[in-house]
Structure 1
Amino acid sequence: MNFDAELIAPRRNQMINAGLWLDKTIIDSLQRAYEQCPNKTALVSFKFEKNIEKQFTYQELWDLSHKVALGLQSLGIGKDDVISCQLPNWWEFTILYLACCRIGAVINPLMPIFRENELTFMLKHSEAKMLIVPKVFRKFNHEQLAYKLKSEIETLEHIIVVDGDDENSFDQKLIKHGLEKKFNRIEKIESSADDITQLIFTSGTTGEPKGVMHSSNTLYSNIIPYAERMELMEDDVILMPSPMAHQTGFMYGLIMPIELKAKVVLQDIWDTAKAVELIEAQQVSFTMASTPFLNDLSCYIIESQKKNSIDTLKTFLCAGAPIPQSLVQKAYEALQVKIISAWGMTECGAVTTTMLSDHEERAYNTDGIALKGMEVKIVDEQGQRVTANISGNLMVRACSNFGGYLKRPHLNSTDLDGWLDTGDIAVQDDQGYIRICGRKKDLIIRGGENIPVAEIESLLYQHPNISIVALVPYPDARLGERACAVIKLNNINEQLTVQDIVKFLQDRKVALQYIPEFLEIVDEMPMTPSGKIQKFKLKKMLEKQHLEKI
């Protein structure tokens, strides 16, 4: 594969001179950990459906990744070849990425929820040479689909099955091959920290996903300041329930623990009781996930009165969507942990977080302040920077900005000065903290009046009967658009009417023209793997209903 990562080379000298790119890869981090603490537990992997837990030391990570790298080379995988993997948070995922980095191959993580439509597009676009899948996960036969895809995709040469029972299993093909007895070292390759190491597709909140290209330099330049901001050290234990096939899990659950020489605990299926058990047994001190995880954990602790079970947990970083004030307060009281709010993108990782020293209100009033090496600015439609507390387009210029979109450089949205147009609308206060107000495409314009979508959603989250809410436009012949509140209730037996919504918002002094005029109750909300609501699907649903009514 030839990677058109045109955004890396132009900023190399500046990033190196500023000390932000360290020319380091995960193999450098692994080797340091292997040499300094070989017997330390590096990884605990729990497979929920089989109730199997496995632990690995840094010595074992070093040895296993060497074996898997030899196995990949024996199958003709080499530098810049793409290996797609549709794996949950299993130890095989970590070993695979380490092996890829040893031979210069590029990993392409794919969410386990993807099916034929998404996978066909992504595998073809990435020209994947190998696909690694679980045999069965959550009652879905991934092996069967993988072989169907192989028969239809020309570049796809190999299928490897984790927990498979034939010669193409991960165990037989990549570990028990015996090649280490013949070859003491992997075939030498010429590589650098500027080479593409990860190809990951955007979550798709607005439609067709794009292939984001990252190098070790772009990834590491984010992970190191992130760990410093969170004051994470080698004695910390990190719980990662967020999918490693998403940027959150990949960067902070796979790479960061190895860089820190810390221990990570991988949870493949979210189960609150099991999470509490893992936190207690493994002495977890830090975790990062979206708001539903935080809500579940808080409710469980309140109901079970098991606060003492998680007293090692110091910090819960929440990202993916704004955290409602009520949830921050509930979580703080229930868990007695520091709640951190953060904002970022697949294209650059976490860009802003609140500080450990901040008052708790910062976690629900803001999305944080820029990390070291990251810059943010708010501009108007003419590209001019606006003053504090004025909303505008959020731009990011970060050491961790991606290398570009694979085969789509015209969509890179990065100007000659390195500023990336995020597509978000935000405000920034006079201390530098930002608050995401919504997406540019999120705007609802009712009769020429812009409705403050994020503000109304934030208020509705305070309603005791509302679990999830999304404000989306409803087509209207006269006004262009009206606002519809799409809501998932806390309890399906509860009742909620438009009149209830109107009164609730009027009681909070919301202008009448900002109040939703339609209400749609749904059983489930379409979400990306990172917990973001897919509003484009809701818009299509409402447009269809509108057409049916006409």
Structure 2
Amino acid sequence: MQFDAVLIEPRIDEMTAKGFWQGKTVNDHFDACMTDCPDKPALTSISVATGERRDFTWKDLDVLANRAAVGLSRLGVGKDDVVACQLPNSWQFVVTYLGCARIGAVFNPVMHIFREHELTFMLRHGEARVFVVPKLFRGFDHEAMADGMRKDLPDLQHVVVAGGEGERDFDALLADPSLDDDPDLPRIVTDNRSDANAVCQLIYTSGTTGEPKGVMHTANTMYSNLVPYAERLQLGAEDVVLMASPMAHQTGFMYGLLMPVQLQARAVLLDTWDRSVAAKVVEEDRCTFTMASTPFLMDLANVVEEEGTDSSSLRTFLCAGTAIPGPVVERAGTVLGTKIVSAWGMTENGAVTLTNLHDPDECSIHSDGYPLAGMEIQIRRPDGSIAAPHEEGELFVRGCSNFGGYLKRAHLNDVDADGWFDTGDIARVDDRGYIRICGRSKDIIIRGAENIPVIEVESALFKHPAVGTVAIVGYPDDRLGERACAFVIPKSGQTLTFDGMKTFLAENNFSRNYWPERLEIRETLPATASGKIQKFALRKMLREEMGLE
């Protein structure tokens, strides 16, 4: 695969000279773990459904990573080849990534909720050579789905199945002890490692173009975010990081996988979110830090209060994705005894702004923090001039952790000649440099920190025989931040029911998370003189009808 990460080269000299790009990859950080603390606990992997728990030291992970590297190499994977992985949070996910890193392969994590519609595009666009899936997860047969997709994926050579059987089983292909005896192992795991400016991660984000965009990151772009992030949160080797946010998102990947390796800290992974299990894990494993969206925080506070579990070890809970309601911050702080930190970021650049551990709680309630070292923000008016403090405008960011570009879509990179990236968000900044996200100019709904690709869902519903016009907008939700509502004008003589809409989307293989949770049938929709639907008016109308204004 040839990667067109055109945003990397122009920044190398400046970012290196300023010390933000330190030239270290996950391999370098892992090697340091093997030198400094090989026998220290490194990873705990917990399956919520079965209760199975696996614990690993750094030395254990080193052995497994080498096996995965050899196994992938035997499958024909080489430098710059893409390995897609749909596993939930698990030791297999971590080992697959570490194995890829040792042979210079590019890791492409994809959410376990994705189905044929999303995956066929992503794997074909990314030219994935290997696809690693669970056999069954939450009752869904991922192996059967992967097999059904292969006819549409000319580059896909192998499907590896965790919990599978026979020759394609993960344990047989990527974790077999016999791989330790491969005479080429020393060469395989050292000769093709990528440098810190090479693309090492391909991760898709829902955009406004009607299809996902492949975000390219390097070790330098990601670790230049992780170093100041950990410093601001005062995280170190003795911390225990709980990660229940999916590692196919940047939240789980960067702060649940990469950061613990960098810090030589232990990570505890949950493959699904269960509030009681999470509370018990915090208590028994003495977890000190986690990062997740607001619903996770609310759940954890509720269960700790109800069941009386001990959460005293959990010093910091970082919330991102949506604004944190004031009562949630106050209650969680009281019940959990935890500092609640707010943040804002994107797949394209990781966490850009964070509040400070010493800030009063009001900062997390009323702001999304200030930029990390190496990142700059700019709020612009529609005419391009710089907005005044407290004035809302379009949010642009620039700096070390900005991505390398969108794969095969350089024209969509949204970076100007001075390196400023258009985030698509509307924000304001106060006199101290703290920002507040006020809305989005891009047409995306964020439901429980998961982006809903509005245009893609609308395009599908337009194909329904009863739909004449459709517009999907978000509406506030206390738990998930937002939910989606579809406004539909039916074709003459046709009807559409809520159940009919859901059935249609299911038949078209859309992830359940993308389905609108409300359907409004209308005879007309507010529109401009040119016929463009005014979504801001729909949002206002919906909030008024729901009694939210």
TM-score under structure 1 length normalisation: 0.82
Map 1:273-288 to 2 at 5 A. Answer: 273-288=276-291
Deviations 1:140-174 (A, max 9, x none): 00011111112331110000000112111110011
In structure 1, C-alpha distance between the alignment counterparts of 2:179 and 2:95, rounded to whole Å: 17
Pair 1:170–1:395, CA change in 2 (3 A): same
Aligned-pair identity (%): 49
Q: Check whether the contact 1:206–1:536 (CA below 8 A) recurs between aligned residues.
A: no
The residue aligned with 1:24 is 24
Distance 1:320 1:355, change over 3 A: same
Query: Residue in 1 aligned with 2:249?
Result: 246
Please list every run of 5 or more consecutive structure 2 residues that lacks an aligned counterpart in the other structure. 455-470, 480-497, 503-511, 527-549
Alpha-carbon distance in structure 1 between the residues aligned to 2:193 and 2:32: 21
| 1:538 CA displacement | 5.3
Contact 2:202 2:217 in 1 (8 A): yes
Post-superposition Cα deviations, 1:408-428, rounded to whole Å, max 9, x if no partner, equal 000000011110000000000
Check if 1:186 corresponds to 2:181. Answer: no
Determine the structure 1 residue equivalent to 2:299. Answer: 296
Using a 3 Å threshold, how does the CA distance of structure 1 residues 310 and 81 change in structure 2: closer, same or farther? same
Taking a change above 3 Å as real, the CA distance of residues 22 and 124 of structure 1, as seen in their structure-2 partners, is: same
Residues 155/435 of structure 1: CA separation in 2 closer, same or farther (3 Å cut):
same
Q: Please state whether the residue corresponding to 1:225 is helix, strand or coil.
A: helix
SS of equivalent to 2:419: coil
Q: How does 1:79-478 map to 2 (within 5 A)?
A: 79-176=79-176, 178-183=178-183, 184-187=185-188, 188-189=191-192, 191-204=194-207, 207-306=210-309, 309-441=310-442
Change beyond 3 A, Cα 1:485–1:87: closer
Shift of 1:377: 1.0
Q: Which amino acid aligns with 2:181?
A: K
CA distance in 1, matches of 2:477, 2:193: 52
CA contact (8 A) 1:206 1:535 kept: no
Structure 2 CA distance for aligned equivalents of residues 59 and 24 of structure 1: 20
CA contact (8 A) 1:103 1:186 kept: no
Contact 1:150–1:159 (Cα < 8 Å) also in 2? no
User: Aligned partner of 1:254: which letter?
Assistant: L
Cα RMSD of the aligned pairs, angstroms, is: 2.8
1:144 is paired with a residue of what secondary structure? helix
Secondary structure of 1:191's aligned partner:
coil
CA distance in 2, matches of 1:22, 1:156: 34
Cα distance between partner residues in 1 of 2:66 and 2:254: 21
- Which has the higher mean CA deviation after the structures are superposed, 66-75 or 189-198? 189-198
- What SS does the corresponding residue of 2:416 show, helix, strand or coil? coil
CA distance in 2, matches of 1:356, 1:259: 21
2:51 and 2:517 map into 1 onto residues whose CA distance is: 40
Gap regions ≥5 residues in structure 1: 444-452, 458-469, 473-481, 491-519, 525-533
2:366 and 2:78 mapped to 1: Cα distance?
Answer: 48
Distance 1:214 1:132 in 2: 20
Q: Following the alignment from structure 1 to structure 2, what is the Cα–Cα distance between the partners of residues 28 and 540?
A: 49
Question: Cα distance, 1:536 vs. partner?
Answer: 9.4
1:303 Cα offset (Å): 2.1
The one-letter code of the counterpart of 2:422 is D
Shift, 1:431, TM fit: 0.1
Contact kept? 2:311, 2:337, Cα under 8 Å: no
Structure 1 residue 47 corresponds to structure 2 residue 47: yes
CA deviations 1:55-109 (Å, max 9, x no partner) are 0000011111011101111111000000000010010111111110100000000
Closer/same/farther in 2, CA of residues 203 and 284 from structure 1, 3 Å limit: farther
Contact 1:66/1:186, CA 8 A, preserved across alignment: no
Give the Cα separation in 2 of the matches to 1:535 and 1:108: 20
Change beyond 3 A, Cα 1:149–1:82: same
Q: Secondary structure at the match of 1:167?
A: helix
**Which of 132-141 and 434-443 deviates more?**
434-443
* Contact 2:102-2:193 within 8 A present in 1 as well: no
In structure 2, what is the Cα distance between the partners aligned to 1:384 and 1:405?
A: 27
Aligned equivalent of 2:468: none
CA–CA distance in structure 2, aligned partners of residues 171 and 483 of structure 1 = 44
The residue type equivalent to 1:365 in the other structure is H
Distance 1:548 1:191, change over 3 A: closer
CA distance in structure 2 between the partners assigned to 1:488 and 1:380 by the alignment: 29
Letter in 2 for 1:3: F
> C-alpha displacement at 1:263, in angstroms?
0.3
How far apart, CA to CA, are the structure 1 residues paired with 2:107 and 2:523?
43
Question: Does structure 1 conserve the Cα–Cα contact (< 8 Å) formed by 2:131 and 2:159?
Answer: yes
* Contact 2:208/2:443 (8 A) holds in 1: no
| Whole-angstrom distance in 2 between the partners of 1:439 and 1:488 | 17
Q: Distance in 2 between matches of 1:487 and 1:410?
A: 33
Structure 1 residues 413 and 289: alpha-carbon distance in aligned structure 2, compared to 1, 3 A threshold: same
| 1:8 alignment counterpart | 8
Asked if the contact 1:73/1:103 (under 8 Å) is kept, the reply is yes
Q: 1:450-483 CA deviation, whole Å, 9 max, x = no partner?
A: xxx99xx9xxxxxxxxxxxx9x9xxxxxxxxx99
Q: Tell me the number of residue pairs that the alignment of Structure 1 and Structure 2 aligns.
A: 474
CA distance in 2, matches of 1:249, 1:483: 28
Distance in 2 of aligned mates of 1:369 and 1:239: 24
How far apart in 1 are the matches of 2:132 and 2:168?
Answer: 10
What letter matches 1:225 in structure 2? P
Deviates more, 1:178-187 or 1:310-319: 178-187
The 3-state SS of whatever aligns with 1:129 is strand
Provide the secondary structure at the position in 1 that maps to 2:187: coil
In the alignment, the residues of structure 2 paired with residue 392 and residue 136 of structure 1 have an alpha-carbon distance, to the nearest angstrom, of 46
Q: Does the 8 Å CA contact 1:69/1:186 hold for their aligned counterparts?
A: no
How many Å separate the matches in 1 of 2:402 and 2:66?
A: 30
